[in-house]
Structure formats: structure tokens, C-alpha cells
Structure 1
Amino acid sequence: MLTLRRSADRGYANHGWLKSFHSFSFAEYYDPVHMGFGALRVINEDRVAAGAGFGTHSHRDMEILSYVLAGGLAHRDSMGNGSVLKPGDVQRMSAGRGVMHSEYNGSQDDAVHFLQIWLQPNVTGIAPGYEEKHFDAAGKRGRLQMIANADGSEGAMLVHQDVRLYAGLFDDAEAAHLSLAIGRRAYVHLVRGLIKVNGQTLEAGDAAMLVNESDVHITEGREAEVLVFDLA
């Protein structure tokens, strides 16, 4: 079964300095039907104004991924990490038994646009951890590139959950196919552009939730960037 989640149906918050779409219940946005999908708990599409950001705050027992689309995202944390993430960069922070961090727009002139993704871990109380990697456009062009999984194989980032996260860029005749093992599900989030997933058209911000399906077919992209979560 394939169920579509349209961009316009997401939660939305406008704080002036921050404009955020919520795929699942988050902060003041509450929808009991959309509390998550398997271990996937949060996909927030955030745009942070120049010079603004999230002050130091804490997290615990959550796998947090930041996927940068435009601009620069400045990160600092209590583990001693500090960097400015650019488009193509992906950051993984395992909050474990507790971590403090801040996220700011690294520019005084331009907005930063990124996705913040939370996965519920399959182990709690661990030491916090950090990792960042760059995944260039060539590696994602016309294919689904592994960017996170449970063992760090295939050049992916390691997350403490039975999930495989892929990213891809598709135009025209470019296509990809992902087989799903029995009992697994998939969540396909279209970051931008236009694409078809198993024959269904998705526009930017839309998602497709697949349960009891054997395959994910990505076709007919138009300047499309897509994330695919293969989940237990």
C-alpha cells in the first residue's frame, strides 16, 4: 500500500527568523495520525534567516541528522565539535545520554535551508557521538546513494537504528529501483523538484509511505532530489 502525504498538509511554523514545515508532530504542531513512521520521528524543513539560529539546547537518546540544501549551517556542541555545513554535507549527532549544541546560520546575508531528521535509536544511554560527511552530486546522480545505515558500510554514516537512508538526484530518463525485504517499509521524501514513485507523482515537500510493498521505483524526475528511508 502506498499512501501520499502532501506538502500542503504538513505542519507549519513561522517564527520570523525561522520558517519550518513539519512532516510529523513537532513542538506546537500535533497530529495524532502523523506521529512518525517506524523509527522515523521528525523531518523538519527549516529555513533560518541570516544571522539567526537555535541557541544552545539539549537532546537525549535521539539520532539527529542535518541535511543541508542551501547556505551554511554553523554547529557547535558539548563534545567539542564545531563546523559550518554546506550543501551536500550531512551531519549525524547521536545524543545518547545527553548532549548540548547550537545551530546558527553561518551567513549574515543569506538564509540557510536544511532538513533536520530525527530517528529513534535502538539503544539508549550510550555516549554521545558525532560524524559529518560530504556526499557530492555526482554520487547521487541518477541513483540512490547510501548515506546512513546501522553499520557505516558503503561509505555511509552510522546510525543506531535498523534503517538505511538513501539520497538521489533525478532528471528525465534517470531512474532507480530499491527492493524492500519482507516486513520492511519505506518512506520517500521529495526534497525538491518533481518525481514519480511507483507511478504516483510527487512534488517538492510531498512524501510517499509504502507498507507491504516489495519495491520502490523512482522515475520521471525533474530537477528532483529525494530521500528514501528503508525501515523495519
Structure 2
Amino acid sequence: MDETSAAETDPGIYTLPRTDVSQDQGSFRTHFNFPGRALPGHGDHGYGPLATVVESFMDPGTLIRMHEHRDEEIISWVPDGVMRHDDRRDNVLVTDADHLLVMNAGEGFWHAEETRRDDPPLRMLQIFVRPHSLDLEPGIQHERIPDPTPNEWRHLFGPEGGDAPLYVRNEAECYDCRLSAGATAALPGRPEWDTYLYVFEGSVELGDAELGHTESALVTGDGAVPVTATEDATLVAFAVDPDAPITRRGTIGR
């Protein structure tokens, strides 16, 4: 998918169809969403600190063997099912609807992912944020997140030192929302930041734009834009500072 496939439907609202950038490794399949491609003439596939949002599928009984990430922040958001993690620091973790995992890869972090044969099929998002600097101290966060409140945005992660449950090392915030059909919520954001919205399930109206399952939009400029569910929807939104200093040497999130 190239930049010419993006459609501007309203001043400041740029929509993207479902991505066609995919990898099929049999029991592990990924679809790469590039927020920067929503903006015509934008020369970067990412948008500021947000490099890519990856829709990932793992069949039961899938093992992704130990491998290294460097110079990127990797967030695993699992709305249903389980993703099992282990690493060379002796962490054995289960990420599910109640927990969020953030790998601050820094100068290098080795990990593996797995679903057991009796686990359900897994569909999740793996979010790649570009850090502000190279060769940072590696680490991992695995925390219980607040229970979701219907039709309200839940804060998941934000810049280090902020009030989000988990942090990344750049100017990016993440929220999710379960929006009931007919309900409206204002798209989250911050002054002078822009917001990228991904529809994980269902369909919504974003201002005058319509977005369906796995479609997305970039909203530029200040002002609260209403999001109305035309059917029950699960949404993930990212507020980012497009002018934040970034690095481009991540293993995947370049």
C-alpha cells in the first residue's frame, strides 16, 4: 500500500484501508499498519515516535523462538486469549486482557513468545515505538491494567515519568476503548499532538469519515473529534508528538 491509497475525508482526518503489508509464517501471521502512510506526501512510513502497529495472529501450539530486539519499545496488547513470554532474564510472563507487556529493548533484549496447544487462537496488537535515543538500558514491564469502563478511553502507556500504567521512552500515549453501538466518545489527544486511531473490531464514524474493521485514520491538529460506533467497536488510539526526536535503528520498528 502506498501513499496514494490514503484518502482525506475531512480537513485533518486522513483514512487508510486495511493494510496489504503482511507476512505469513504459517501458524504466525502479521499485518503491518503504517500510520505515516495516511498523510499524503509524508516521507516516513511511521509517524513521529509511532513506527508501526502490527496485527499479529498465533495459532495454538506456536513457538516463536528466542530472538533479539534492539532500539525499540515493543508493546503487546492482548484483548482476548493469552500470549506467553519468556526471556534471558528469567521472566516467564502471561499477557492477557488484564495485563500489558512493554519491552524497552534498548541496547538489546532477547525473548521468545508462545501459545500452548490448549490455548485459544490469538489475535493481538504489537506496537512499535521509536525511542528518543539509541542504546538505552534494556528492561521489561508487565503490569495489570485497570478494568475497562464501557464507552470510555482507558490509558495504557505514555511517556516515562507520566501517569500511565506503563511507559515508553518517547512522546507517545496509548488508549483503548470498547464503544457500544450508538455511543460517542471524543478521540483522545494532547495539544499540538496528533492522534492515530485503529479499529480492532466493529465500525465507527470519526467526524465525517467512516472506518470499519482493521481500518485506521490519522487526525492532525487540535480539537476533540467525535468517534461514534455504528456497531460495537474495540478501538486503540495513539496520541503522538510528530516533532519528537526519534531514532530509526530498531530491529523492526525503524
TM-score by length of 2: 0.80
Corresponding residue SS for 2:148: helix
- Which among 137, 148, 161 is matched to residue 157 of structure 2? 148
Any conservation in 2 of the 1:73–1:106 contact (CA below 8 Å)? no
Report how far residue 226 of structure 1 moved: 0.6
Q: Which consecutive unaligned segments of at least 5 residues does structure 2 have?
A: 1-11, 36-41, 242-254
Matches within 5 A, 1:155-174: 155-174=164-183
Q: Which residue, 14, 23, 26 being the options, matches 1:3?
A: 14
Listed one character per residue, the Cα deviations across residues 73-102 of structure 1 (whole Å, up to 9, x for unaligned) are 110112221112122422101001111001
Distance 1:107 1:122 in 2: 39
Alignment root-mean-square deviation, CA: 2.2
User: Higher mean Cα deviation, 50-59 or 192-201?
Assistant: 192-201
Distance (Å, rounded) in 2 between the aligned partners of 1:49 and 1:173 = 33
Equivalent pair of 1:53/1:104 in contact (CA under 8 Å): yes
| Structure 1 position 34, deviation (Å) | 6.3
- Paired residue for 1:200, among 192, 209, 230? 209
* Further displaced range: 196-205 or 89-98: 196-205
What is the Cα deviation at residue 71 of structure 1?
Answer: 2.1
Q: Which residue of 2 aligns with 1:190?
A: 199
More strand by share: 1
208-217 or 68-77, which deviates more: 208-217
Q: Bigger shift: 206-215 or 152-161?
A: 152-161
How many angstroms apart in 1 are the aligned matches of 2:123 and 2:225?
27
Report the residue type matching 1:119 in the other structure.
V
Q: Measure, in 1, the Cα distance between the counterparts of 2:43 and 2:231.
A: 30
Number of residue pairs aligned between Structure 1 and Structure 2: 224
SS of 2:47's partner is coil
* Equivalent residues in 2 for 1:216-227, closer than 5 Å: 216-227=225-236
Distance 1:100 1:179 in 2: 33
What are the residue-to-residue correspondences of 1:90-109 with 2, within 5 Å? Answer: 90-108=100-118
Tell me, in whole angstroms, the C-alpha distance in 2 between the residues paired with 1:101 and 1:225: 28
Following superposition, the deviation at residue 128 of structure 1 comes to 0.9
Say which of 125, 138, 141 aligns to 1:131.
Answer: 141
**Residue identity (%):** 21
Residue 86 of structure 2 corresponds to residue 111 of structure 1: no
